Amino acid sequence: MRLLTLAAAWLLVAIGAVGVFLPLLPTTPFLILAAALFARSSPRFEQWLLDHPRYGQPLTDWRREGAISKRAKIASVSLMMASYGIVWFAGPPQLWLKLLIGAILAGCAMFVLTRPMPGSQDVSPQDDLQG
C-alpha cells in the first residue's frame, strides 16, 4: 500500500509540474494532495516538497492555516474568469452547460476567496484590542 501511495504522490507532482506550463491546470492543489500522500508514504519526499523554494511556502501556509496568499487568490480567480470567457464564447453551444460551468467556477472562486491570508490567524481578537 505504501508503494501505491508513493506512486500516486509522484503522479500528482507530475500533474502539478505540467500545471506550471499550462495556465488552465492548477499546480498547487495537486501539490497539496501530493504532500498529504508523501506524509503517509515518504517523510523524506514530503520534506523535500515542503522545502521547495517556490512551492514550499504555499503548501506550508495551507497545511498550517488553510491559507491562500493574495497573489495566488488573484491569479486563481483571474484564470477562472478567463477560462469561463473561453467557455462562453468558444465552448459548447448548450446554454445550460455554460451556466453549469459558470456556477461550478463561481463556487470554486468563492472557496478560494474565503480562505484566510497567511499569517492572519496569528493575531487573536484579544491581542488586536490590546495593540
* Nearest CA among 56, 51, 16, 57 for reference residue 33: 16
Q: What is the pLDDT of residues 52-107, one digit of tens each?
A: 998 899 999 999 999 999 999 998 899 899 989 999 999 999 999 999 999 999 99
CB-CB contact of 17 with 55 (8 Å): no
Residue 117 has pLDDT above 50, yes or no: yes
**How many residues are present in the chain?**
131
pLDDT bucket at 129, cuts 50 / 70 / 90: very low
Residue 125 has pLDDT above 70, yes or no: no
Q: What are the residue boundaries of the structural domains of the chain, listed by start? A: 1-66, 68-119
What would you report as the CA-atom Rg of the chain, rounded to the nearest whole angstrom?
18
pTM of the entire structure? 0.75
Is residue 131 over pLDDT 70?
no
Yes or no: say if 38 and 59 are a contact pair by the CB < 8 Å rule. no
31 in Cβ contact with 72 (< 8 Å): no
